[in-house]
Structure 1
Amino acid sequence: MNDFDALQAVIRRLAAERQAEQRACEAFLNALYHALRTASGPGLPLNNVTFDFTPDPAERLRPPPPGGWHAAWLRLGLCEVLVRVRRDEGAFVGEYGEGGTFHLTGVTEDDLILLARRLLRDVAAAYGGGGLVGRSGMPLN
């Protein structure tokens, strides 16, 4: 077996794992989108929120290898924010905007709404000149 055939074999062998990760990450991004729509509270949906899956601009291989990033552009009214997510030992690890990060081991509705509210605050701070703020309350930039 030559190197090319070995590459094709490993890609085929890991196809199910990659596809399961992709479905999980896309479901997470979809759930985050719905959390953003309800982040203002019950009965107060944000109607100007949409999203589009996109190939991760930083990913250098297609299809992404196991553990690779999956991405979507979230439109929040007048701006858009790129959200990247991947699976890491059962958790969802991600990045958004200008340095925002998250690590969720649980993906309950409350977890997602808390993340959505943090994302909205961080993006507002980035546009307002405050930059992103970490868990300690200190600016990240």
Structure 2
Amino acid sequence: MNDFDALQAVVRRHAGERQAEQRVCEAFLNALYHALRTASGPGLPLNNVTLDLTPDPEARLRPPPPGGWHAAWLRLGLCEVLVRVRREEGAFVGEYGPDGTFHLARVSEDDLTLLARRLLRDVAAIYAGDASPRPGAPLN
């Protein structure tokens, strides 16, 4: 088997793992979208929030290898923020905007709401000129 054939074989062999990881990461991004829609509290849905799943703009390999990033543009009214997420040792690790990061060991509705509110505050601070880099401390 030559090197090219070996590459094709390993890509095929891990296709199921990659697809499962992609589905899980896309489900997380969708759940974050729903958390953003309800971040203002019960009965106060934000109707001008949309989700657009997209290939990770920083990806250097397609399809992404196991552990690779998955991305979505979240439109928050007048602005959009790119959110990237990947699985790392069972946790969701992600980035948003120019320097926002997060780490979720578990994903509950409350955890997603906390993340959504933090994301909204951080993006507002960027536009207000008050942004300072925040460490990616775990939310839970």
TM-score of the alignment, normalized to the shorter chain, above 0.5? yes
Relative to the length of structure 1, the TM-score reads 0.94
Aligned-residue offset at 1:88: 0.1
Cα shift at 1:134: 2.3
1:14 aligns with 2:23: no
Match of 1:76 in 2: 76
Tell whether the 8 Å contact from 2:99 to 2:134 is kept in structure 1 after alignment: no
| Match status 1:130 vs 2:130 | yes
Check conservation: 2:39, 2:117, Cα contact below 8 A: yes
SS state at 1:84 partner: strand
Q: Distance in 1 between matches of 2:112 and 2:27?
A: 12
Cα deviation per residue 1:1-30 (whole Å; 9 max; x = unaligned)?
011100000001101110110000000000
Consecutive unaligned residues in structure 2, runs of 5 or more: 136-140
- What is the number of residues matched between the two proteins? 136
Shift in Å at residue 133 of structure 1? 5.0
What is the RMSD computed on CA atoms of the aligned residues? Answer: 1.2
Q: TM-score, normalised by structure 2?
A: 0.95
The percent of aligned pairs where both chains have the same amino acid is 83
- Alpha-carbon distance, 1:98 to partner: 1.2
Q: Residues of 2 paired with 1:64 and 1:24: CA distance?
A: 14
CA–CA distance in structure 1, aligned partners of residues 10 and 50 of structure 2: 36
List gaps (5 residues or longer) in structure 1: 136-141
* Offset at residue 87 of structure 1 (A): 0.2
Q: Which amino acid aligns with 2:85?
A: V
Deviations 1:67-107 (A, max 9, x none): 00000000000000000000000000000001000000110
Give 2:39's aligned residue.
Answer: 39
